[in-house]
Structure 1
Amino acid sequence: MIAIIGRDTILALLIFEAVLILLAFVVSSNNYYMLLMDQVLLFAGFVGAWNIIGGLTGQLDLAASAYIAIGGITTSALWIKLGVPPVVGVFAGGLASALLAVAIGIPTFRFGVREVWYALLTASLVVILNNIFRYSIGPWDFYLPSKWGWVYLRPRSYFELFFIIDIALLIVVVANLLVVNSKLGYYLKSIREDELVSESIGIDTRLYKLLALSIYSFITGVLGYLQVVIYSSFSYRLFDSSLAISIAIMGIIGGLGSIGGSIASAMVFRTLGEYLRSYLGGVFPGLDLLLYGLALIVFGITWPDGLAGMYRGLRRWFKK
């Protein structure tokens, strides 16, 4: 594992984990800040998973919330209806999301749907599933059983939940690193740079895009249950188009293909958005969204290569 990932990367991960855990202990007495931290880390996990299909492979996927919802609902339903503990059920939830992704991906990639058309197709998937679930299970919220414990991945406090989400985020980062430092990662980056050239040199682009889609959807499906845990309920509203778009935007702002950039952008801008909403949303309705949008625009114009590009630029500047 050390040889594949690298000692410097492992050291950076250890420092990152130490900072997160220290921050969690600092804010542990405040439930609001602890909940915010949990939400930010989970969102970072979603963006990190998206990096595999969007950043490494170059596919503008806007269906993240479809896989999140399918995974979360599947895991919750298995627990409620069959008594399957979520610590096991999350893998079934991830598999359900991956099967949905494969069912969509096979004809999509077979007929060469790509770029903006792929984005429109995946965005439509969220809307379609939202309506299907709204009319099939109704507009109501379905609450999780009143049981707590690690076997249910549902601790009694947001502080304890932090450790579950933190472990999940760490797994997402390691999964990205393993993909990047493998033959699969090499092929995915080749597809991102020029799909036609990749095909001409013998890379099975359809197969490798499908593999990337499967990994991404499985991870988001597993993480989907943690989204349900935060709300303590699930409904058709989990199929949230705005969430899927936000995940893609953060992946782009982080720098396509950059693991650290995607995680950092998710944490920084999600925290900024929540801060603006908390302090301005109730005083000047809409002002928080305006300022948040302006921040994204200014950053995008100033650093079109994302946080990763900004980091590289700052390193070059300090070396002068």
Structure 2
Amino acid sequence: MGKRDYILTAILFVILLFGLWLAQNYLNAYMVRILNTAFIYVIAAVAYNLINGIAGQFSLGPNGFMALGGYTVALLMLPVYQKIQVYFLTPLIWPFSVITFPSYLFILSLVFGGLVAAGGAFLIGFPTLRLRGDYLAIASFGFSEIIFVLANNFIPLTNGALGIKGIPQYTNLWWTGGLAFLTVFLIRNLVNSSYGRALKAIREDEIAAQAMGINPFRMKLLAFAVSGFFAGVAGGLFVTLISTVSPTLFTFAMTFNLLIIVVLGGLGSITGSVVTAFIFAFLQEILREVEAPHTIGSFTIPGIPGMRMVVFSALLVVMMIFYRRGLFGTKELSWDLVFRLFRKKEPQDEQ
């Protein structure tokens, strides 16, 4: 990015802040909740696209990394007196039983949640990324299932199936919108750097990239850790939005949601992940009507839970038939593209 692009990006950030202020003050709580969810999906989907789209490595474990980040933030931000009430069956283990971060250290708890998730990604990626094929997908899926089992059974830390209730609701549009912008900005610059070009080379032909002096294992491992870090941050924002965390919150359905967003937007397109994350968040709410019971005359059609996912699955099949590369493919919206579009319109306007 040149100096002009940084200035325009800073202006865009100011506009985003103004839009967040308007939304926070003038939209109803329901719409604000959807926007918060959409921004969280942006963070998680862009991070997921880094490893699946940019690096070309098939991972099925973002729900596990989000769970690690979510539980870490919950344990750090939950007040001590609330921990005593929540862990009434089995006391919470030390040092979490005596540690509570004040509200102004919320960002630090998100960083810790991201680091724990990045550590989990490193733990899985180190032995599997040396291999080729679907080993990463199998290992990451197994890792997410291990996290699910531990969340259910490691009661002194996670409170088991009861989960952790009463988490302070620190997440708002300032946090989600600001961190979504930061995530896109950082990963976009990472992708456009020499490191990002190395990842794309590995995606296209790993043997050729290695012949050119690129270390595929080191590059893929770093991308996997970065992806895990931002997934952990997204998980932390999610639990402090809904004020609770339990094993059922981060099941494989969360990975399926992110996979839909990334594939529909285009594997390798950050712009596509951002756009489809918002579309997905709003469609999730609109399609609640599909699962609700309806009465037509004297007939009552019962509600069928899970029909939203059937609709999303059908949409994914249609996209794979007619738009195999997704809505954006590997294309990105850039300032150069915006200026080129305006230049093309100028002669038409003069006529």
> Residue 297 in 1 paired to residue 317 in 2?
yes
> Do the aligned residues in 1 keep the contact of 2:268 with 2:329 (CA within 8 Å)?
no
Equivalent residue runs for 1:57-136 within 5 Å: 57-80=55-78, 81=96, 82-85=99-102, 86-110=106-130, 112-114=131-133, 116-136=134-154
Q: CA deviation at 1:203?
A: 0.7
Supply the AA of the counterpart residue of 1:17.
L
Q: CA RMSD in A?
A: 3.0
Moved more, 202-211 or 280-289: 280-289
Q: CA deviation at 1:216?
A: 0.9
Structure 2 partner of 1:53: 51
> Residue 282 in 1 paired to residue 281 in 2?
no
Structure 2 partner of 1:143: 165
Distance 1:235 1:183, change over 3 A: same
Q: CA deviation at 1:268?
A: 1.0
> Residue 245 in 1 paired to residue 263 in 2?
no
> In 1, Cα distance between the equivalents of 2:111 and 2:213?
33
Supply the AA of the counterpart residue of 2:261.
M
> In 1, Cα distance between the equivalents of 2:309 and 2:249?
21
Structure 1 partner of 2:244: 233
> In 2, Cα distance between the equivalents of 1:53 and 1:9?
28
Per the alignment, in what secondary structure is the counterpart of residue 328 of structure 2?
helix
> In 1, Cα distance between the equivalents of 2:7 and 2:321?
31
> In 1, Cα distance between the equivalents of 2:149 and 2:120?
16
Structure 1 partner of 2:191: 180
Structure 1 partner of 2:20: 21
Supply the AA of the counterpart residue of 1:124.
G
Per the alignment, in what secondary structure is the counterpart of residue 43 of structure 2?
helix
Distance 1:304 1:106, change over 3 A: same
Please, which runs of 5 or more residues in structure 2 have no aligned partner? Answer: 79-95, 294-302, 333-337, 339-343, 345-351
Q: CA deviation at 1:140?
A: 0.6
Supply the AA of the counterpart residue of 1:183.
S
Q: CA deviation at 1:300?
A: 2.6
> Residue 39 in 1 paired to residue 37 in 2?
yes
Supply the AA of the counterpart residue of 2:163.
D
> Do the aligned residues in 2 keep the contact of 1:68 with 1:220 (CA within 8 Å)?
yes
Structure 2 partner of 1:215: 226
Supply the AA of the counterpart residue of 1:193.
E
Per the alignment, in what secondary structure is the counterpart of residue 84 of structure 1?
coil
Structure 1 partner of 2:2: 3
Structure 1 partner of 2:348: none
Supply the AA of the counterpart residue of 1:235.
S
Q: CA deviation at 1:233?
A: 1.3
Q: CA deviation at 1:44?
A: 1.6
> Do the aligned residues in 2 keep the contact of 1:5 with 1:178 (CA within 8 Å)?
no
Larger Rg: 2
| Equivalent residue pairs, number | 302
Moved more, 190-199 or 289-298: 289-298
Per the alignment, in what secondary structure is the counterpart of residue 161 of structure 2?
coil
Q: CA deviation at 1:105?
A: 0.7
Structure 2 partner of 1:151: none
> In 2, Cα distance between the equivalents of 1:63 and 1:16?
34
Answer 1 or 2: which has greater helix percent: 1
Distance 1:13 1:185, change over 3 A: farther
Supply the AA of the counterpart residue of 2:145.
V
> Do the aligned residues in 2 keep the contact of 1:303 with 1:310 (CA within 8 Å)?
no
> Do the aligned residues in 2 keep the contact of 1:27 with 1:34 (CA within 8 Å)?
no
Q: CA deviation at 1:69?
A: 0.9
> Do the aligned residues in 1 keep the contact of 2:269 with 2:331 (CA within 8 Å)?
no
TM-score (norm: length of structure 2): 0.77
Please, which runs of 5 or more residues in structure 1 have no aligned partner? Answer: 149-153, 156-160
Distance 1:238 1:177, change over 3 A: same
Report Cα offsets for 1:75-116 as digits up to 9, x if no partner: 221234312343222211111111111111111123x043x3
Q: CA deviation at 1:177?
A: 1.5
Per the alignment, in what secondary structure is the counterpart of residue 2 of structure 2?
helix
Structure 2 partner of 1:158: none
Distance 1:311 1:220, change over 3 A: closer
> Do the aligned residues in 2 keep the contact of 1:253 with 1:307 (CA within 8 Å)?
yes
Higher RCO, Cα 8 Å, sep 6+ = 1
Equivalent residue runs for 1:156-175 within 5 Å: 161-175=172-186
Per the alignment, in what secondary structure is the counterpart of residue 218 of structure 1?
helix
Per the alignment, in what secondary structure is the counterpart of residue 139 of structure 1?
helix
